[in-house]
Amino acid sequence: MGPFARIGWWRSTRSARREHMPQREVRSWKAEHAVGAAAKRVKSTRHVHLAIRIPDPDRRRGSGEVDVIAITDRAVILLEVKNWGGDVHLRDNDLVQQRLLDKGEPPKPVIEKLRAKVRMLQRCSLSIDRIEMLEVLPIVVLANPKGNLSEEVLAHPEVSTVADLPAKIEALLATREPVSEEEIARQDAMLRRFGTWDVLTFDGGQRHTGDFIDDDFPEGWTRADHSAVEIAVEGGLFSTLFRGPRLTVTFHRRDGSKVTEDMTPGLTVRHTQPWDESGIDGKGTYPIEHVRKVLFGNEAKFRWEDVTPQSDGDATEAADPLAAFEVGGTYTGTVVKHLYRKDGGPFYGLLVALVEREVTGMVHISKMDGMSMDHIEMFYAVGKPIDVKILSIDGPKKIDLDFD
């Protein structure tokens, strides 16, 4: 690399590393951290996680992000943070912004969307650990101090401000009994398994959230071994001009140790965002010298096909999704669908997931003792846990079930 190329490299690298975060994103990021700090002030709180991605059992690769999750000794609290200014009202038992109504834009559900994530988390727990998780409670936190909240909004049991959040959580937990430390640890381990976004940070303060393409990482850059990789440019303009571009790369290992190596430019990472084009090519490619830090959201990307409950026998049997199930056994599953004949035909049964997307069975209508559809909708709604007994097994998705 000649002197002019070295100068060009230094200037373009410095410019790329100085990318800043737009003020709107800064305010949202600060609001989420303020909510996390408020949740930590609750005496019953044991763990607080930010930006956890709860896998959607109805989609093989989909997930629903929750801004803050607080694990307490009595319940799990899902906190959705909205940094809304202006007037906020209740309509059809959900939150609406007056400014959107004034523009004629239809309001998007907030409370109901968070409730859907509650159901997703409960279904995940049943599939992964085969037991119902702690009670899960949703709260939407309106974090903007300039927001003008109606009395109905402030009185809603699933809505809070940042200042009122500790008291709101304490009130919700007051009538609930504490659970064991083992149960709390199980909930925490499950959320850590889900993880958060992979992140690129920059010297100017910008944070790009998304997903790394692991197959395109430089050799040795593995999420299983590292929580982060930090990249620093050595020297200034004159040092780069006379000695050439130099990088110092520090690997933060998951065991807490650090390893630092000298590197030359040329390596890249790929980090994609479903909602935007990114990188120098619009496909998520970043030269490593352009970023300050690479942050891995988890040790391994969550995949439903990896979720197989352990059987009571040899752990090697876990490769078979049916290894943990036997005829005559009773298990807790989740109602995932009400089954109807084609072309609007009659209802004929419940589809029940024992392991989401991997092991499912059916409770035939003949097992329901003539229950009306109103009762079926009430007691066996989609997303509800259900105790079942296995009558026969003809495959992972061909299991005959009865109510336990």
Query: In 3-state terms, what secondary structure has residue 312?
Result: coil
* The one-letter amino acid at 208: H
pLDDT digits (tens, 9 = 90+) for 96-137: 999 999 999 988 899 999 999 998 898 888 888 877 778 999
Helix H or strand E segment including 118: helix 111-129
- pLDDT at position 316 is 44
Domain membership of residue 163 (yes or no) is yes
Same-domain check for residues 285 and 363:
no
% helix, strand, coil for the chain, step of 5? 30, 35, 40
Same-domain check for residues 134 and 263:
no
Same-domain check for residues 144 and 36:
yes
Same-domain check for residues 95 and 161:
yes
- pLDDT at position 232 is 96
- pLDDT at position 215 is 94
Could you tell me the residue range of the domain that residue 380 belongs to? 308-403
* The one-letter amino acid at 375: H
Pairwise CA distance, residues 301 & 196, whole Å: 10
- Token couple for 269: 């990472």
CB-facing half-sphere around the CA of 93: CA atoms within 13 A: 5
Domain membership of residue 208 (yes or no) is yes
* The one-letter amino acid at 154: L
CA 297 to chain centre: 10
| Strand 399-403 relative to strand 359-364, pairing | parallel
List of the chain residues with pLDDT < 50? 311-318
What is the tally of structural domains in the chain? 3
Angle, CA 141 vertex, CA 37 and CA 110 arms, to 5°: 140
Same-domain check for residues 381 and 396:
yes
Query: In 3-state terms, what secondary structure has residue 120?
Result: helix
Pairwise CA distance, residues 82 & 77, whole Å: 16
Same-domain check for residues 8 and 28:
no
**Domain C-terminal end among 157, 184, 211:** 184
Mean pLDDT, the chain, rounded, equals 91
Domain membership of residue 196 (yes or no) is no
